[in-house]
């Protein structure tokens, strides 16, 4: 079946679906210029293994170094903009309230900046902070002492990026909502993910409806797809989701 015919078939599935789940991964952000997790290791940080930095143990051992690394990544992300794929998803959801659930493995917040509400960010959001230890009554982010990282002025509790580190569980509420969306959808779009990171990748294999993969390269989830569209999200999503 030709790419054009596949696209038209997928468009029909979108029109007919009452509930659509969308799972996005690093490839979608890469189209906006966000480096992938490992590609972000440049300049001063090139000698560090990101898997050794993105852990609670690393933060406790050297909080300044890990905080500064995330500050470096935040600066990179702040310089990029949502692409046409992000915008197409947001526009579709606004035109069709309650039909789409957007699930992302990305921490860059580009979906939110494009106008998507209710995004299920399975790996957190790099632009937000949370307390490292269970916050006490004195822990107030607005009065935290500036520093690398900021700390509670009374108890010394440190703020950390609100992302999921290696060895941590995904946020339970978001994961349950994502699993429910997959199990109840008529159609799942899997966009820009290699399909190797679980449990997020497993959502495509539990989808109740049809699965459409959108990716320029082969993925580990292609065998679970009813259609595979080879191409970039910024090009294909506006075509797929136009009314």
pLDDT of residue 191: 98
Collect all residues with Cβ–Cβ distance below 8 Å to 79 and sequence separation of at least 6.
33
The whole-number pLDDT of residue 46 equals: 56
Kindly give, in sequence order, each residue whose CB lies less than 8 Å from that of residue 49, ignoring residues fewer than 6 positions away. Answer: none
Q: Among the options 96, 98, 111, 123, which is catalytic?
A: 123
Using CA atoms of 94, 99, 105, 107 in order, give the dihedral in degrees to the nearest 10: 30
190 and 204 Cβ atoms separated by less than 8 Å: yes
- C-alpha 105 chain-centroid distance: 3
User: Do 109 and 126 meet the contact criterion of CB atoms below 8 Å apart?
Assistant: yes
The whole-angstrom separation of Cα 77 and Cα 100 is 26
Residue 86 is among the residues annotated as catalytic for this protein: no
Length of the chain: 243
Q: How far apart are CA 97 and CA 52, in angstroms?
A: 41
pLDDT of residue 179: 97
> Which whole-number Å values give the CA distances from 158 to 124, 211, 233, in the listed order?
18, 42, 38
C-alpha angle 109-235-23 in degrees, rounded to nearest 5:
45
Q: Name the DSSP class of 212.
A: E
| Rounded-to-integer distance, Cα 164 and Cα 80, Å | 22
Can you give the pTM of this predicted structure? Answer: 0.92
Question: In angstroms, rounded to a whole number, what is the distance separating the alpha carbons of residues 170 and 156?
Answer: 26
Does residue 207 sit in helix, strand or coil?
Answer: coil
User: 47 by DSSP, 3-state: which?
Assistant: coil
* pLDDT string in tens for the chain (243-residue length): 677 888 999 999 999 999 999 999 999 999 999 876 555 545 444 556 777 889 999 999 999 999 999 998 899 899 999 999 999 999 999 999 999 999 999 999 999 999 999 999 999 999 999 999 999 999 999 999 999 999 999 999 999 999 999 999 999 999 999 999 999 999 999 999 999 888 988 999 999 999 999 999 999 999 999 999 999 999 999 999 998
In 3D space, the residue among 120, 99, 96 whose CA is nearest the CA of residue 19 turns out to be 99
- Residue 96, class by beta-carbon neighbours within 10 Å (0-12 exposed, 13-18 middle, 19+ buried)? middle
Q: Go through the domains of the chain in sequence order and give each one's CATH number.
A: 1-34+82-123+170-243 (3.40.50.1220), 35-79+126-163 (3.30.1600.10)
- In angstroms and rounded to an integer, the radius of gyration of the C-alpha atoms of the chain is 19
CA separation for the pair 156, 146 (Å, rounded)? 12
Q: Is 94 helix (H, G, I), strand (E, B) or coil?
A: helix
Structural contact between residues 9 and 173, judged by C-beta atoms closer than 8 angstroms: no
């Amino acid at each position: 079946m030709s790419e054009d015919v596949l696209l038209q078939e997928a468009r029909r599935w979108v029109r007919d679906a009452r509930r659509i789940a969308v799972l996005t991964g690093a490839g979608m952000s890469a189209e906006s210029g966000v480096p992938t997790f490992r590609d972000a290791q440049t300049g001063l940080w090139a000698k560090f293994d990101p898997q050794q930095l993105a852990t609670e143990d690393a933060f406790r051992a050297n909080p300044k170094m890990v905080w500064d690394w995330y500050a470096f990544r935040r600066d990179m992300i702040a310089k990029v903009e949502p692409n046409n794929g992000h915008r197409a998803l947001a526009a579709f959801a606004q035109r069709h309230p309650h039909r789409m659930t957007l699930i992302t493995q990305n921490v860059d917040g580009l979906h939110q900046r494009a106008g998507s509400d209710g995004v299920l960010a399975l790996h957190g959001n790099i632009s937000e902070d949370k307390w490292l230890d269970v916050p006490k009554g004195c822990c107030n982010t607005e009065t935290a002492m500036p520093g690398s990282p900021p700390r509670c002025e009374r108890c010394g509790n440190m703020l950390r990026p609100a992302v999921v580190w290696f060895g941590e569980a995904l946020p339970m509420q978001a994961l349950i909502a994502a699993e429910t969306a997959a199990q109840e959808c008529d159609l799942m779009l899997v966009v820009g993910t290699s399909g190797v990171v679980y449990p997020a990748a497993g959502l495509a294999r539990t989808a109740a409806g049809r699965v459409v993969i959108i990716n320029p390269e082969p993925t580990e989830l292609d065998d679970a797809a009813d259609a595979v569209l080879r191409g970039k999200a910024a090009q294909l999503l506006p075509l797929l989701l136009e009314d």
